[in-house]
Chains A and B, each alone.
Chain A
């Protein structure tokens, strides 16, 4: 049991990075639709650079840079050139997927670097929680930090409050002196960097190695989880773990329901659609008004100005 939960947490770590990054980006109002491609390209880049440099760390840095670069292109195109976020994101997704295949081709099947295990002494001996939480490596511990920091930043800092304001009503934030477009760029690029780290986590840790199907559909799934989790870091993270659990469940159920492993990755999407319908119908809003204490947990509204271009006047 412990081993199962432990492996779910480890396997979901990359998805956590990716969704935290996308949550930050979307919270500020910018949708990064290129996730599927960013994830692959950064995974490949991370693997290759780690291979050449003989250290996984270099791979992570390179991967983060790739993710950040792709996000920067989206930010520039959307904010400076007023191009639709969906259009750029989509083009970059397909382009990055092919770039990853193209340059990564010669590295398929190669044994590369790996993130070493790093159980935390003393803490790993705690019954149950020790094995589940503290017998992992830096990547997984980093994912915990990512959730904690993102959540803390959103809800406990000034910067985080301003970030929410930018995504909700940029004119209002601007009127209060917040540099909307500058911050949107920063957060989008930061989100992209985290997506890059997620990619490296796949090729250098969870799945080890590079092949085209390494992160199959996980980029799209990340997008769905962010929506399903209502742009709230903790709920989104829970969504990642839930998905991880579903994957493990599917694996074990292979014998009973053959092929379920292929079908199960579909699951986040009907859930996402359901969540969107309910949000649109105002259910959660009404519940939030009735129970103000729970509001933080119930609100599934997208940031009010998500996907829009902010123009000064």
Chain B
């Protein structure tokens, strides 16, 4: 383990430095003072307790989705369908919020469970298409993403439409009892339940992969399916289980979006956290340990860059640009140093 982490650490830091340099250049090109821009970004996401609360509320679903992706990646799967899993989780949670009447605590719990189930089942679909239908999970997942998005749109402007005018701005606001509870601290509504779910999710995935037989076997399946088979591990069962777990976590992210943030169903309910989660996990080296801090970094940058729009007249997508450049550089940087190390090892083994 240690040998591998040090292998990644140095090239990652170097790549980060280059990426920041590129970011500065891009900012300069767009006519904005780089240092001030970066400071504005931090201010925009952490500058006040209200902003911190908003950052945490965005951080939670990203972490949940990322945690789910760590599990599917461990099984060797590219779970591109994660966006659809968030959406289906959100839809399931919305259904509960609308149809079920119960006390607040029970209702919130029910939405969380519903989200997990919705996401898990949708992920299972992608998994079965792969294990039994021979459909690559990348394209199967992509297709299911769009299918889920279509279902969400259909619900929003159809059966669940707002009274009077059907609008793609969303359904009616869900009953108060379904709102994910917050805690008032320093004058802001800190999303304590959402954050707890995120932490539980990350910690849970970490221990699942590190401390259980299931996790270890899953890793074997992901790294070497043939060896896993010889050892006697039923590959398909493990792959499907990984999709179930990953989908469940993504589904809970959907719940957070519905009951914690929007309080209604909107077409763009996933917030892009699924795909963003893939970037987080790529940067985290597929390990659960780092997704918390990296996701925070991602949210700080993207939430904070909305400030850029207001103050420096820069499009808020700069945050996404910065993050994309960083991930690109890190991925290329680590691959480059791996190739170099390999080449050295090959020539070293040679004897005249």
Enumerate chain A interface residues (CB-CB to B < 8 A): 33, 77, 80-83, 86-88, 90-92, 94-99, 101-105, 217, 220, 223-224, 227, 258-259, 262-263, 265-266, 269-270, 272-273, 276-277, 279-281
Closest-by-CB residue of B relative to A277 is B133
Which of B92-100, B144-152, B180-188 interfaces with chain A?
A: B144-152
Q: Do the beta carbons of B139 and A224 come within 8 Å of each other? A: yes
> Given A101-B315, A259-B166, is A276 in contact with B320 using a C-beta cutoff of 8 Å?
no
Q: B327 contacts the other chain (Cβ, under 8 Å)?
A: yes
Asked if B174 is an interface residue, CB under 8 A from chain A, the answer is no
| Residues B143 and A269 in contact, CB atoms below 8 Å apart | yes
Are B147 and A98 within 8 A (Cβ)? no
Binds A, one of B50-58, B211-219, B247-255, B275-283: B275-283
7 tightest Cβ-Cβ pairs between the two chains A and B: A280-B134, A95-B324, A98-B320, A105-B315, A269-B143, A101-B317, A266-B150
Please determine whether A272 and B143 come into contact, CB atoms closer than 8 angstroms: yes
Bound-state CA distance A51–B320 (Å) is: 26
Q: Once the chains bind, are B324 and A91 in contact (CB under 8 Å)?
A: yes
16 A-B residue pairings within 8 Å (CB atoms): A81-B332, A81-B336, A90-B275, A90-B278, A92-B328, A95-B321, A95-B324, A95-B325, A97-B317, A98-B319, A262-B168, A265-B146, A273-B135, A273-B139, A273-B143, A276-B133
- Smallest beta-carbon distance B280→chain A, Å: 12
Q: Is the CB of A86 within 8 A of B134?
A: no
A207 to B334, CA, bound (A): 40
Chain B residue, CB-CB nearest to A97: B320
Check if B134 sits within 8 Å of A276, measured CB to CB.
Answer: yes
Instruction: Given A98-B321, A258-B166, check contact A77 B335 (CB 8 Å).
Output: yes
Does any Cβ of A come within 8 Å of B205's Cβ? Answer: no
In contact, B321 and A102 (Cβ under 8 angstroms): yes
Partner of A94, one of B136, B138, B279, B332: B279
Q: Which of B138, B143, B166, B336 contacts A86 (CB 8 A)?
A: B138
Known: A86-B78, A276-B129. 16 other contacts (CB 8 A): A81-B336, A83-B332, A86-B138, A88-B328, A94-B320, A95-B327, A95-B328, A98-B319, A99-B324, A102-B317, A102-B321, A223-B139, A262-B168, A269-B143, A276-B133, A277-B129
Is B140 located at the chain interface by the 8 A CB criterion? Answer: yes
Q: Are B146 and A87 in contact (CB under 8 A)?
A: no
Q: Which of chain B's residues 259-274 have a Cβ closer than 8 Å to chain A?
A: 267
- Knowing A265-B146, A269-B142, A277-B133, the reply to whether A94 touches B324 (Cβ < 8 A) is yes
B135/A81 in contact, CB under 8 A: no
Q: Measured between C-beta atoms, what is the minimum distance from A63 to chain B in Å? A: 19
- Please tell me which one of the listed residues B78, B157, B318 contacts residue A258 in the complex, with CB atoms under 8 A apart: B157
Question: Would B153 and A224 count as touching, CB distance under 8 A?
Answer: no
Contact with A along B302-323 (1 / 0, CB 8 A): 0000000000001101111101
Asked if B24 is an interface residue, CB under 8 A from chain A, the answer is no
Alpha-carbon gap, A290 to B322, bound state (A): 54
| A263 with B150, Cβ < 8 A, contacts A220-B142, A272-B143, A276-B136 known | yes
Please tell me which one of the listed residues A81, A94, A99, A276 contacts residue B335 in the complex, with CB atoms under 8 A apart.
Answer: A81
Let me know if B199 is at the binding interface, CB within 8 A. Answer: no
Bound state CA distance, A81 and B330, in angstroms? 13
Residue B339 at the chain A interface, CB threshold 8 Å: yes
Is B30 part of the binding interface, using a Cβ–Cβ cutoff of 8 Å?
yes
B158 to chain A: closest residue by CB: A259
Q: Do A277 and B139 touch (CB < 8 A)?
A: no
Residue B331 at the A interface, CB < 8 A?
A: yes
Number of residues in B with C-beta < 8 Å to the partner?
48
Main SS of the interface on chain B?
helix
CB within 8 Å: A-B pair count: 134
Residue ID in chain B nearest A273 by CB atoms? B143
Closest-by-CB residue of B relative to A103 is B30
Is A81 a contact partner of B339 (Cβ separation < 8 A)?
A: yes
Instruction: Provide the residues of chain B in CB contact with A92, threshold 8 Å.
Output: 324, 328
Contacts A259-B166, A276-B134; is A270 near B153 (CB within 8 Å)?
Answer: no
Min CB–CB distance A286 → chain B (angstroms): 15
| B332 lies within 8 A of A276 (CB) | no
Q: Are B147 and A83 in contact (CB under 8 A)?
A: no
Partner of B327, one of A91, A97, A262, A281: A91
**Contact: B282 with A87, CB < 8 Å?**
yes
Chain A residue contacts of B327, Cβ below 8 A: 91, 95
A66 to chain B, nearest CB (A): 15
B335 neighbours in A (Cβ, 8 Å): 77, 81-83
A254 CB → nearest B CB, Å: 11
Shortest beta-carbon distance from B312 to chain A in Å: 12
Contact with A along B121-140 (1 / 0, CB 8 A): 00000000100011110111
Kindly report which residue of chain B lies nearest to residue A221, judged by CB atoms.
B146
Contact of A102 among B30, B80, B140 (CB under 8 A): B30
The answer, yes or no, to whether B154 is at the interface (CB within 8 Å) is yes
**Given A223-B142, A276-B140, A259-B157 contact (CB < 8 Å):** yes
CA gap between A82 and B129 in the complex, in Å: 27
Q: Is A273 touching B129 in the complex (CB atoms < 8 A)?
A: yes
* B48 nearest CB across to chain A (Å): 26
Complex interface bits, B274-301 against A, C-beta within 8 A gives 1, otherwise 0: 0110110010000000000000000000
